[in-house]
Structure formats: structure tokens, C-alpha cells
Amino acid sequence: MTSKTDSHHESTAAQDFAGGVVLFAAVMLLITGVFDILRGVMAIAKDDVFVVAPEYVFEMDLTGWGWIHLVLGVLAVLISFGLMKLSLWARMGGIAIAALIIVANFLSLPYYPVWAVVSIAFGALVIWGLATAHPDSLTG
């Protein structure tokens, strides 16, 4: 037999866990966004850190890739602040922007493989975190 107090305690534990998962996703998205902003700025400035991959199927001008990563990074940082307030719009936007970051990093894998793999992993963690937390157990 469970009492009202046990039920309330379980509900609070679930809310705490869900809030923690979303906060984790927000921080991961913030880090990923900062990485993409830095990557975008380096690409726009045509930094020597990028290698030229000959005959790559998804070849694009380095400046074009830079602007894509810069915009995705700025959006990721803005959405991460919304996630810290547990906003529903930010959860949906966080999943969408993390998916776009994964795609952008996959397409630019030959140009900077280590950074792309790290960003892909962070994006996957963000999606996992936002998809795991149940919206009805969140407050705010």
C-alpha cells in the first residue's frame, strides 16, 4: 500500500530526474553551439586548420560551411538558454537543431574529422536527453 506521501515523493523524484536530463541536454547543446560558432568563424576566416578533401561528394566553399556552422551554433546557444528555463518550444527546437548539427557535421567530416565526430556525439546526447525527459513530469 502506498501512501499519499510516497506518491508525492515519487512524483518529485521523477520531476527532478526529468529536469536534470533537460539541464544536461541544455549544457550539451550550449557546448555544441559554442563549438559550431568557433568552427564557423574559423571557416569564414579561412583558417589553415581545415584540410581540403579532394573529390568529396558534398564539396562546398569553406566560407559557405562556415556560415552554416555559425548560424547553427548561434541558434543552438539561444535554444540552450530556453532549455534551461524548461520551455517546451526549446525542447522541440533543441531536438531539431541538434539533428541539423549532426547532419552538418557529417557532411563536413572529411574537412575536420575529429571535431565533426565530437560534435556529432554531443548532438546525439542532446537528442537523447531531450527525448528521454517526459514533458508531463517537468515543471515550469
How far apart are the C-alpha atoms of 132 and 6, rounded to whole Å? 23
Query: Does residue 19 contact residue 86 with C-beta atoms inside 8 Å?
Result: yes
Q: Angle 4-44/88-107 helices, nearest 10 degrees?
A: 40
pTM score, whole prediction: 0.75
Q: Is 46 helix (H, G, I), strand (E, B) or coil?
A: coil
Tally of CB atoms within 10 A around 138: 17
Nearest to 134 by CA among 7, 11, 1, 8: 11
Instruction: Quick: pLDDT tens for 27-84.
Output: 989 998 998 899 889 888 876 666 666 666 566 677 888 899 899 999 999 999 998 8
Nearest to 99 by CA among 120, 116, 84: 120
pLDDT of residue 140: 47
Query: Does residue 97 contact residue 69 with C-beta atoms inside 8 Å?
Result: no
pLDDT surpassing 60 at residue 111: yes
Residue 88 pLDDT class (50, 70, 90 cuts) = confident
Query: In terms of pLDDT, which residue wins out, 138 or 99?
Result: 99
